[in-house]
Amino acid sequence: MSGHGDPIPMMSRKCGPLKGEAHVPGDKSISHRSLILGAMAVGETKVRGLLEGQDVLDTAKAMRAFGATVEKKGDTWHVHGVGVGGFAEPADVIDCGNAGTGVRLIMGAMATSPITATFTGDASLRKRPMGRVTDPLALFGAKAYGRTGGRLPMTIVGAADPVPVRYTVPVPSAQVKSAVLLAGLNAPGQTVVIEKEATRDHSERMLAGFGAEITTMETEEGRVITLTGQPELKPQTIDVPRDPSSAAFPVCAALIVPGSDVLVPNIGLNPTRAGLFETLREMGADLTYENLREEGGEPAADLRARFSPNLKGIEVPPERAASMIDEYPVLSVVAAFAEGATVMRGVKELRVKESDRIAAMADGLRLAGIEVEDGPDWWIVHGRGHGNVPGGVETVSHLDHRIAMSFLVMGMASEKPMRVDDGSPIATSFPIFEGLMGGLGADIERV
């Protein structure tokens, strides 16, 4: 899907306490990876709890185009994989819609097979840099022909005789790391990826789960990940945990709406993903982990978030950025309701997400009466404290689901309602957002 649907203007206004349980959908990162690795295994992988957001549905469609069978029976998704190196050449252009993760991981997965594929996406995805992925894929022997600046649409000619690579990822990006690892699957010998800052490690964990030989060593250079190529991946049964990045929205809403008490059950707290919750607690949020446990080798808990009238701005440690990179937009909303400045540094990557997230949030926050300073890789939100956030403006979502949801959360507690010009991108990652928030007591409407 290329996001050609009509825009959906939305508005949220001040509401009574948010109460109840928020069952958020499956993790987007893990959902993409389940389908892609399922398609590269030999036999049938079963996936429960898959995120049925548009991003992931586009990846499912792409995997079919490369020859895998992907179908839903009852509540379970079944993926019949074609094996490492078994991808067929797609008969048409692969449209990854809004999904950076989808397109970059799939480019990696096909780059070491002797096939050619052309990729495109919606207006947001066509602006995003692909060179960060095609540079390392070229080392394997793949060729990329795209628009100026390495933009989609882009054709990848997979390497017929791939060689393994040793690659240090120049930006903190799990998508780049994962693209290299997936390409390494069909290269003979060992592919080594080095990352200076730890990013989400779902690919490493899942590759091990599918039976690949993969090790991670913490060294002075950073995390050194070594993958042995050309394994036979064994199909798996996967229970996708719920997405901490989606949990962030009901959690943050509960913290700023007076009287709220919301339970968000069963959220994965993989340390490479849980930075927001730590940050909120440091700001004085009444946010507790209940029933802390291990699930599928990862920590998980039920999150309980209660209205927190005395939030304080803090300096977010830059080394935490990768573990909460998708959560800065909604954090900046909470920061507006805190006393004092929230300082966010080391966040250059925010400028190349579905939108330039620093610009998109700073524009809307400023319009809504909040002082924001920003530079190339930092921004500071000057909070006005609870009860002093004016709101009352229309913001632009720039085809970015997290921008739309962040401003709708803001409107739940600002003095005047917040409008978003287009809430349709919310369906990429959190299709049940409106119903779920409404069920807790939020007042969101399509206008």
Residue 178 beta carbon to ligand S3P: minimum distance, rounded to whole angstroms: 6
Tell me the three state secondary structure of residue 150. coil
Query: Which one of 14-22, 34-42, 67-75, 172-180 is the stretch in contact with ligand S3P (CB under 6 A)?
Result: 172-180
Compose the 243-282 pattern: x for residues touching ligand S3P by CB under 6 A, - for all others. ----------------------------------------
- Of 114 and 318, the one with the shorter C-beta distance to ligand S3P is 318
- Which residue type, as a one-letter code, is found at position 72? K
User: Is the preceding peptide bond at 153 cis, omega within 30 degrees of 0?
Assistant: yes
Residue 176 beta carbon to ligand S3P: minimum distance, rounded to whole angstroms: 6
Q: Which two tokens stand for residue 356?
A: 């330039």
Assess contact for 401 and 378: CB atoms under 8 A: no
Interface pick for ligand S3P out of 1, 10, 29, 338 (rule CB under 6 A): 29
Q: Is residue 326 annotated as part of the catalytic site, yes or no?
A: yes
Query: Which one of 13-21, 57-65, 171-179, 410-418 is the stretch in contact with ligand S3P (CB under 6 A)?
Result: 171-179
Q: Which residues of 97-120 are buried (b: 16+ CB within 10 A; e: fewer)?
A: bbbbbbbbbbbbbbbbbebebbbb
Q: Name the phi and psi angles at 68, rounded to 5.
A: -80, 160
- Strand residue runs (E) in 98-150: 116-120, 143-147
Q: Which two tokens stand for residue 412?
A: 């739940």
- Of 260 and 323, the one with the shorter C-beta distance to ligand S3P is 323
Residues 183-222 that bind ligand S3P (CB under 6 A): 200
Radius of gyration of the chain (CA): 21
In 3D space, the residue among 186, 166, 57 whose CA is nearest the CA of residue 110 turns out to be 186
Provide the edge-to-edge strand list for the sheet that holds 10-13: 394-395, 418-420, 10-13, 443-446
Q: Please work out the total of residues on this chain that contact ligand S3P, with binding judged by CB under 6 A.
A: 11
Q: Which two tokens stand for residue 292?
A: 């802390």
Q: Which of 326, 363, 374, 400 is catalytic?
A: 326
Residue 391 beta carbon to ligand S3P: minimum distance, rounded to whole angstroms: 27
Q: 143 - beta bridge partners?
A: 157
- Of 243 and 363, the one with the shorter C-beta distance to ligand S3P is 243
- Of 206 and 252, the one with the shorter C-beta distance to ligand S3P is 206
- Of 200 and 242, the one with the shorter C-beta distance to ligand S3P is 200
Query: Which one of 134-142, 170-178, 367-375, 393-401 is the stretch in contact with ligand S3P (CB under 6 A)?
Result: 170-178
Residue 339 beta carbon to ligand S3P: minimum distance, rounded to whole angstroms: 29
Compose the 299-338 pattern: x for residues touching ligand S3P by CB under 6 A, - for all others. --------------------------xx------------
DSSP state of 125: G
DSSP state of 62: H
Residue 114 beta carbon to ligand S3P: minimum distance, rounded to whole angstroms: 26
178 interacts with ligand S3P by CB under 6 A: yes
CA distance 109 to 117: 11
Alpha-helical (H) ranges within 235-327 are: 244-256, 275-282
Compose the 358-377 pattern: x for residues touching ligand S3P by CB under 6 A, - for all others. --------------------
- Residues 6 or more apart whose CB falls under 8 angstroms from that of 123 comprise 3, 399
- Of 174 and 314, the one with the shorter C-beta distance to ligand S3P is 174
Residues 100-159 that bind ligand S3P (CB under 6 A): 101
Positions touching ligand S3P (CB under 6 A) are 29, 101, 173-175, 178, 200, 325-326, 349, 353
Active-site positions read 326
